[in-house]
């Protein structure tokens, strides 16, 4: 019995405790790798699935926090997604739910950067695993379930079976990717709207909900992404 208690206490200490900061070289290299993944078309096409998980997860969390009923989440192989919630078709709850998608990856990256700056590498990895597990319950299609399981499995395996240095490198790479990966989709959306390819985008839905022009919502998305990248980057680099 004491052994079980000691084991639980040890795990808890790992989660809430702090880990040594990696070297500046590790922080810089993981940032450059994340930048290369976001900038290159091929790697981005695959890695964008992770941004979609964060995007749709943001919609889902906002819906729950504002009292809406979350019906389900679907993730598609073309990296698009859909989150369905029930409730009032207008009002602050619907506005916050619609606005949470494009801002979620950057804000999650900012929160992750704060945790890493405080030395909580394991807490970040376990927290991400818990969020992905909670999201899995609401995913309603096979591809979405596979994507979330693989992503959550990667976080769990790294946090449980690898050395501290590997955990830190993985965590910094993920946070850099969220911060940088939160910027590109907003530019992609802007380009699609310019070509008339996204008439029902989050920005357009927000425009109808608030009688505010869609470009102003795009500006908000840009501001959140770039400010998060600036602030989170400073935390990661120890500036």
Residues 14-49 have pLDDT tens digits of 666 677 889 999 999 999 999 999 999 999 999 999
Residues 64-75 as b/e (b if ≥16 CB within 10 A, e otherwise) read: eebebebeebbb
Quick one: tokens of 167? 């955990």
Look at residue 85 and give its three-state secondary structure: strand
Q: pLDDT tens digit string along 44-92?
A: 999 999 999 999 999 999 999 999 999 999 999 999 999 999 999 999 9
Place 3 in a pLDDT band, splitting at 50, 70 and 90. low
Quick one: tokens of 108? 């999650």
Averaged confidence pLDDT in the chain: 93
**Cβ-contact 148, 53 below 8 angstroms:** yes
Quick one: tokens of 216? 């102003």
pTM (2 d.p.): 0.93
75 pairs with which residues across the strands?
A: 81
Q: What is the mean pLDDT of residues 204-227?
A: 97
Place 199 in a pLDDT band, splitting at 50, 70 and 90. confident
Place 10 in a pLDDT band, splitting at 50, 70 and 90. low
Q: What is the mean pLDDT of residues 114-129?
A: 95
């Amino acid at each position: 019995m004491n052994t079980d208690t000691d084991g639980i206490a040890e795990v808890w200490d790992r989660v809430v405790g702090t880990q040594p900061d990696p070297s500046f070289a590790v922080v810089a290299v993981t940032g450059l790798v994340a930048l290369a993944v976001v900038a290159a078309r091929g790697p981005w096409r695959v890695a964008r699935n992770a941004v979609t998980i964060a995007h749709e997860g943001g919609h889902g969390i906002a819906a729950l926090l504002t009292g809406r009923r979350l019906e389900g989440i679907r993730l598609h192989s073309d990296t698009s997604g859909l989150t369905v919630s029930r409730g009032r078709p207008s009002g602050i709850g619907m506005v916050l739910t619609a606005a949470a998608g494009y801002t979620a990856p950057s804000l999650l990256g900012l929160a992750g950067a704060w945790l890493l700056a405080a030395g909580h590498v394991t807490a970040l990895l376990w927290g991400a695993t818990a969020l992905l597990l909670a999201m899995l319950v609401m995913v309603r299609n096979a591809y979405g379930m596979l994507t979330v399981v693989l992503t959550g499995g990667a976080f769990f395996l790294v946090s449980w079976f690898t050395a501290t240095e590997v955990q830190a490198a993985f965590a910094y790479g993920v946070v850099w990717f969220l911060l940088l990966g939160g910027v590109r989709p907003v530019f992609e959306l802007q380009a699609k709207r310019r070509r008339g390819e996204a008439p029902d985008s989050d920005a357009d839905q927000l425009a109808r909900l608030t009688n505010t022009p869609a470009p102003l919502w795009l500006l908000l998305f840009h501001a959140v992404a770039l400010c998060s990248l600036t602030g989170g980057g400073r935390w990661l680099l120890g500036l």
